[in-house]
Amino acid sequence: MSDADNTPKPDDAEIDAEGESLEASPFTPPPPVERALRMTMTPGNTQALALDTALEPLLFTLQTTGSPAGAANHIAGSRLPINLALVIDCSGSMGGEPLAYAKKACALVVDLLEPTDKLTIISFAETAEVLMPARRLANKPHIKDVIYGLSARSTTNLYDGMLAAFNQLGAAKTEHSVNRLLLLTDGEPSAGTRDFGSILGQVAEQRSRGIGVSAIGLGGDYNDEFISGLARRSGGSFTHVERPEEIPAAFEAEIERLSRIVARQVRLRLTLPSGVSVRQVHGRQPVFGNRTAEVVLDDIESGSSLLSLWEMETSPRPMGAYRLARAELLYEDGATGRSERLSEDLTTRFVGGRDAVAETSDTSVGAVTDWWRSIRDLDKTMMELRKQGMPQETLEAALGAVEAKANWHGRGEAAARIAKARTAIFAGGASEKLLMDTVFNLDQVRLS
């Protein structure tokens, strides 16, 4: 395992960008720079068998440092400004308690935001309505009056509501603002654009402009695969709430997440020599360029870590040490607004014996790979459940297996989340949407 900030070069050789071994050269490490993030790159193995194709996982761990920059969000006035759009479903099914608690949640958001933040409020039913254009929170009582004026109407034109919010967020965003659309809905689109592919495409485009979507689904009638997809495509969060009284807590948790962001617009890029390729990045769709592969990662909150697992393939090479990739982590610091860049080289030694390769295998990378496969298996179980149903004992066995694996790998929080979902579902006190919420949050592979 190696750290991007203080990695020594190989003792025996400097490795060039084409994966060729060169003469040794002196190396002077740069002075340490205090940054919000630390990148650790851990290959599945530091050695590979010469003259054979190498298939190995490559694990990146992105950690907050605990430095003044990394803890900036806890210092008054030092976090990035929030540019938020509340997009509230006001269709007929939201009448009564759901909308009453939605109003309480929106009012709570007003209390939690700083006067220098920006807020817009959008309602949608048969049409979308901009109840309050994006503005700073200088007059909080007036904003609450707007919120309390929300009323239930008829159908669900979700797309137009989101589009209106994107327009407001785009006009109000600044170079360093955290831009987020927070959606609350209890149903599927029933008016306006209802093509899920078009809506998800719009969300992906907005992410490229620095705007994310977090989605809260209420009850049992919304399309959780679609709603969670909105969050997944944009780097936001997805939360399922069973009862209206849970809405304020879900809104509060989202504002807490936004307030704790220490790194945003996070990207991880590998530059590759000939003969080296990226087969896949678990949970992400890489963008391939000229000998590069890049993924966009979620914003990172203080006190947490984010894992990114890549699968690499290397063509046969003679014995020797080679640089097989240069990794670059690019992000914006949440305290300073400064663009930061960390880089590290991946080097692998090709050797002549299989026993030597086996001795240097990293079990921690194998454990993460095993965990990710478990989540994928659970995801497949969910898809099977949706398509054709499933005996309760089969679903219970699948959940139990993942819970046991979470405990085995020391992921206590994940195990507790699975156990909670499992108990609620089989007691009849929750829908399978709670399971989708669980799978979504497990899939983020965060550590805190």
pLDDT score of 78: 66
Topology classification of domain 14-24+34-62+262-361: Immunoglobulin-like (2.60.40)
Q: What is the rounded distance in angstroms from the CA atom of residue 29 to the CA atom of residue 107?
A: 52
pTM: 0.80
In 209-265, alpha helices (H) = 224-234, 247-259
- Domain borders along the chain are 14-24+34-62+262-361, 80-259, 366-447
| 128-136 vs 178-185, strand pairing mode | unpaired
For residue 41, what is the enclosing H or E element?
Answer: strand 37-43
pLDDT score of 8: 37
Q: Which CATH number fits domain 80-259: 3.40.640.10, 1.10.510.10, 3.40.50.410, 2.40.37.10?
A: 3.40.50.410
Question: How does pLDDT run across 426-448, given as a tens digit for each residue?
Answer: 766 555 677 677 777 666 554 43
Q: What is the rounded distance in angstroms from the CA atom of residue 126 to the CA atom of residue 128?
A: 7
Q: What is the rounded distance in angstroms from the CA atom of residue 90 to the CA atom of residue 88?
A: 6
Q: What is the rounded distance in angstroms from the CA atom of residue 164 to the CA atom of residue 67?
A: 38
Count how many residues are written for the chain. 448
pLDDT score of 272: 96
pLDDT score of 3: 52
At position 373, the amino acid (one-letter code) is R
Report how many helices (DSSP H) and strands (DSSP E) the chain contains, helices first: 11, 19
Q: Which residues pair with 87 in a beta bridge?
A: 122, 183
Q: Which residue positions in the chain have pLDDT lower than 70?
A: 1-34, 66-78, 192, 385-392, 425, 427-432, 435, 441-448
